Structures are given as structure tokens and as C-alpha cells.
């Protein structure tokens, strides 16, 4: 049991008992890819893989972080954790501390009177598989410190703090999708999030009643050029928005696409077409889920994959084989999830075909000479919380 493990780890690392245990989940994005930084819509859900943190306050302003997954223990103080000050994995937890300070300052308060802490992390969220282990790490600590320091920050405040950590201290220019999913999700539901306003609502998934399972197919491919690819996709979106004189591609409708084609370079047009149609697919998916349930969203998932493959060009052969084989084996839909260039696909599979889909995808990977994929079911789970 991970709660016991994290308490033991804390005691061994720091020679005293912890005050409590908190946790936050990784996430899968059901649909809505690369729309977040275009001020559009996303529909993630939290998964049943979590990062647990045991925290104990200290009498001084020192902060120390240790993790079962890393040897290096990070040490700093509450006053030295801003952008540029931290390297390595400590940037995530220390950045979270700084982000909380920023959000407190914006509300006219501060962390000047806060006590330092020791924290120990244990996680079963795979890292770098597109399941957002980084947000799970940040968000577990954010809910812990919100309680320990009695900050009374809201869920959206904690999203802001952890998003600041990832953008400004870690230096990853991502949107609010990951942290929102990890903090705000509810059991058996997806989170419909408007990345322009930050407003969100829970959309019931009802997978158990529908007899459906969501499989994650981790291709175990990580592409070295993912960062550059991400930056160039963002740049394409920005060129398209500038050419049309809109603040963000959120402001373009599917009906505007054809007329816009000649007004920018073709690459920018294709990037835009993915974003604009993907926003519409998120809205359509939410409408179908509300009206008839998850059994009806398979075609939207496949259309999302095709758009990411052909227009946004973030797929790789492993992801295409995962998606095509899943659907051929009886999945209702499948798509790459996360930023692309590797990572994971998801498939929506009738419960009785889970074995078949798993076997066929595994066989197809072997046939193509790909690395063996990791295939596992995920359960839509509750967001960050106190466990003990
Ligand atoms: P993803 O969020 O998709 O898993 P990222 O590259 O955004 O991938 O984040 C992964 C990084 O987050 C790891 O390389 C590591 O630095 C840090 N990390 C995540 N989980 C842990 C953990 N439990 N302990 C220490 N570091 C972690
Ligand atoms: Mg991440």
C-alpha cells in the first residue's frame, strides 16, 4: 500500500514521522489535443495512478524533498525557490512552493510566516509516458501545503500555482490541462475545461454501466526532438492566429476554415485546421457523453487521431499502429493522447474485447519490429486529496 510506503520512506529519509499523506493522480486526455495553448477546450480525466507525498513541517524555513524514484535529495529554503534557482527534479516541488507564494501575493498575502518542510514522494505514474507524472508531483505537494499552511486556496488557485511552477521554474511552456485534470477531476468522470476562461465542469463517463474499458497503450517511444516539435507546432498556431488577426485559434470556427486557406502558409493552415476541428470535436464529445454516453464517442476519437496525424503531424508509426490495430480488433475508437512524438495512445474498448485488443496490438508491434508496448486499463479517478 502506497500510503504505508510513503510514510516509511519519509521516516527513513528524515528520521521522524510525517504529519500526513496527500496524493494527486496522473491524467489521460480523452480528446482535445494541443488546444489548451490555443485557448480552446480539453476533456481529460484523472487516472488510477497517483503520486503520494508525505510531508512534515519544520521549525525553520528549510525545505527538503526526496523521492523513491530519484537518489538526489533537494535542499533549499522558502526564500530561494524562484525561476532560475533550481535544477533537476527539485524544480517541480520547489517551483510549486514558489507558485503558491505567487498566488498568495496576488491575493495580498504571503508565505513570509510559513514554516519549512520535508517531503517524500512515491509514485506509480510512469514518467515520460504522456500521463503527466510532472503534474501529479506538483499537485500532490500543492494540496499538502495548502492544508499544512492553512492557505485556504481554491482548486483553481492551486491550478494557477502549479501551472506557474511548470512554466516558470521547470521551464516547460505547457497549458493548464495537466494540473487542472490532476486537481479538479472526479471519479468516473471527465473534466470539460475551457482553457480561455479556466472554467470547468464534470462530465460523467459511466464506463462501468456501458461495459467499456479505456486502455492506455504506452508505445515506450520518446523522441529526442519532442521539445523542438512542440515549439514549432506552437509557432505554426501563432502564425495562423496572427494572419487572421485573432487573439487565439479559439476564435476561429470550422465554417471559417476554407476562406482562411489562402491567407497564410500551408503549414500554418494545417496546424490551424487541426486546432479548430479539434475544438469542435471536444464540444461534440461532451454533447454525446451528456446525451447518450461513452459508447458514442469512438468516431470522434478516431477523427481526432487522423487530424493529429495528418494536419498537426505529431504522430509516429508506433502510435498509428496502436490506433489502427485497436480499432480493427474491435475498439470503438482510439487516438494518440498527450503531446505526441511518442508516448501513449488510448483505446475505448468493450470489456469483453480487452484481451483481444491487447493481444493484437502486442502482436502488431512485434511484427513491425517495435519495442513491446505497455498496455493497461485506466479507471477515471478522483483528483488530488488528503489520504491520511
Ligand atoms: P510526464 O509529465 O509526461 O510524465 P515530464 O517530462 O513532464 O513527463 O515530467 C517527468 C519528470 O518529472 C521526470 O523526469 C522527473 O524529473 C519528474 N518527476 C515526475 N515524477 C517524479 C517522482 N515521483 N519523483 C521525482 N521526480 C519526478
Ligand atoms: Mg509533464
Could you report the per-residue pLDDT of 54-100, keeping only the tens digit for each? 999 999 999 999 999 999 999 999 999 999 888 899 999 999 999 99
331: its cell numbers? 475498439
158 shares its domain with 275: no
From 168, 202, 236, give the residue that closes a domain: 202
Q: Which atom of ligand 1 is nearest to the CA of 69?
A: 24
Are the C-beta atoms of 24 and 52 separated by less than 8 Å? no
Residue 48 lies in a domain: yes
Q: What is the pLDDT of residue 73?
A: 96
- Ligand 1 midpoint to CA 369 (Å): 28
Residue 388 lies in a domain: no
CA distances to 32, 125, 155, 179, 236 from 182, in Å: 16, 12, 10, 5, 28
Quote the ligand 1 centre to 128 CA distance (angstroms): 7
Same domain, 148 and 287: no
What pLDDT sits at residue 111?
96
Last residue of a domain, one of 169, 202, 235: 202
155 CA to centre of own chain? 16
Average pLDDT of every residue of the chain: 96
Q: In this structure, are residues 25 and 47 in contact, taking their beta carbons and an 8 Å threshold?
A: yes
Whether residue 92 lies inside any domain: the answer is yes
Asked if 194 and 210 sit in the same domain, the reply is no
Q: Could you tell me the CATH number of the domain that includes residue 102?
A: 3.30.230.10
- Which residue in this structure is represented by grid cell 527539485? 90
85 belongs to a structural domain: yes
Q: Which domain holds residue 249?
A: 206-378
pLDDT at 205: 98
- 386, part of any domain: no
Question: Does some domain include residue 42?
Answer: yes
Tell me, yes or no, if 178 is annotated catalytic: yes
Residue nearest ligand 1's atom 23 by CA: 123
Q: Does ligand 1 lie within 6 Å of residue 132's CB atom? A: yes
Q: What is the CATH number of the domain that holds 329?
A: 3.30.70.890
* Residues 103, 99: Cα–Cα separation, whole Å: 6
pLDDT score of 178: 95
Examine the domain organization and report whether 212 and 187 are in the same domain: no
Question: With a cut of 70, which residues of the chain have pLDDT below it?
Answer: 224-225
Q: Which atom of ligand 1 is nearest to the CA of 338?
A: 3
Nearest atom of ligand 1 to the alpha carbon of 70: 25
* Partner residues linked to 376 by β-bridges: 216
**Predicted local distance difference test score (pLDDT) of residue 161:** 98
Last residue of a domain, one of 186, 202, 218: 202
Position 225 scores a pLDDT of 64
The helix-helix angle for 177-184 and 133-148 (nearest 10°) equals: 50
**Does one domain contain both 170 and 261?**
no
145, part of any domain: yes
Q: How far apart are CA 91 and CA 100, in angstroms?
A: 14
Residues 138 and 280 in one domain: no
Q: Is 128 left (phi over 0), alpha (psi -120 to 50) or beta?
A: left
Residue 28 CB–ligand 1 contact under 6 Å: no
Number of folded domains that form the chain: 2
Tell me, yes or no, whether 48 and 82 share the same domain. Answer: yes
Is 143 in the same domain as 116? yes
Q: Which three cell numbers stand for residue 350?
A: 468493450
Q: Are residues 210 and 124 in the same domain?
A: no
Q: Are residues 54 and 124 in the same domain?
A: yes
Whole-structure pTM value: 0.94
61-89 b/e (C-beta count within 10 Å ≥ 16 → b): bebbbbbeeeeeebebebeebbeeebeeb
**CA–CA distance, 38 with 273 (Å, rounded to integer):** 12
Q: Is 337 in the pocket of ligand 1 (CB under 6 A)?
A: no
Q: Kindly state whether residues 235 and 120 are assigned to the same domain.
A: no
Nearest residue to 53 via CA among 162, 132, 144: 144
Same domain, 245 and 197: no
State if residue 128 touches ligand 1 by the CB under 6 angstroms criterion. Answer: yes
Amino acid at each position: 500500500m502506497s500510503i504505508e510506503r510513503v510514510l516509511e520512506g519519509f521516516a527513513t529519509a528524515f528520521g521522524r514521522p510525517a504529519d500526513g499523506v496527500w496524493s494527486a493522480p496522473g491524467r489521460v486526455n480523452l480528446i482535445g489535443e494541443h488546444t489548451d495553448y490555443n485557448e480552446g477546450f480539453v476533456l481529460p480525466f484523472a487516472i488510477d495512478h497517483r503520486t503520494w507525498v508525505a510531508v512534515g513541517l519544520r521549525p525553520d524555513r528549510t525545505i527538503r524533498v526526496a523521492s523513491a524514484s530519484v537518489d538526489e535529495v533537494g535542499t533549499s529554503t522558502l526564500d530561494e525557490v524562484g525561476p532560475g534557482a533550481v535544477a533537476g527534479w527539485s524544480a517541480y516541488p520547489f517551483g510549486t512552493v514558489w507558485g503558491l507564494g505567487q498566488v498568495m501575493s496576488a491575493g495580498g498575502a504571503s508565505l513570509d510566516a510559513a514554516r519549512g518542510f520535508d517531503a517524500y514522494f512515491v509514485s506509480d505514474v510512469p514518467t515520460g509516458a504522456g500521463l503527466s507524472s510532472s503534474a501529479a508531483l506538483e499537485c500532490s505537494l500543492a494540496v499538502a501545503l495548502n492544508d499544512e499552511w492553512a492557505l485556504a486556496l481554491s482548486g483553481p488557485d492551486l491550478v494557477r500555482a502549479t501551472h506557474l511552477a511548470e512554466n516558470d521554474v521547470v521551464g516547460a511552456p505547457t497549458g493548464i490541462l495537466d494540473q487542472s485534470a490532476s486537481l479538479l477531476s472526479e471519479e468516473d468522470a471527465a473534466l470539460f475545461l475551457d482553457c480561455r476562461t479556466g472554467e470547468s465542469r464534470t462530465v460523467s463517463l459511466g464506463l462501468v454501466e456501458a461495459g467499456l474499458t479505456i486502455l492506455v497503450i504506452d508505445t515506450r517511444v520518446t523522441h529526442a526532438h519532442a521539445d523542438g516539435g512542440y515549439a514549432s507546432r506552437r509557432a505554426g498556431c501563432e502564425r495562423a492566429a496572427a494572419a487572421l488577426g485573432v487573439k487565439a485559434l479559439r476564435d476561429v470556427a470550422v465554417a471559417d476554415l476554407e476562406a482562411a486557406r489562402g491567407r497564410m502558409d500551408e503549414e500554418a493552415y494545417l496546424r490551424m485546421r487541426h486546432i479548430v476541428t479539434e475544438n469542435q470535436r471536444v464540444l461534440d464529445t461532451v454533447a454525446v457523453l451528456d446525451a447518450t454516453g461513452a459508447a458514442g464517442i469512438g468516431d470522434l476519437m478516431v477523427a481526432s487521431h487522423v487530424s493529429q496525424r495528418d494536419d498537426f503531424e505529431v504522430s509516429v508509426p508506433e502510435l498509428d499502429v496502436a490506433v489502427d490495430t485497436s480499432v480493427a480488433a474491435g475498439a470503438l475508437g482510439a487516438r494518440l493522447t498527450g503531446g505526441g512524438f511518442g508516448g501513449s495512445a488510448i483505446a475505448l474498448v468493450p470489456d469483453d474485447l480487452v484481451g483481444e485488443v491487447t493481444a493484437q496490438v502486442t502482436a502488431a508491434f512485434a511484427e513491425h519490429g517495435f519495442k513491446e508496448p505497455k498496455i493497461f486499463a485506466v479507471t477515471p479517478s478522483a483528483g488530488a486529496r488528503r489520504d491520511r
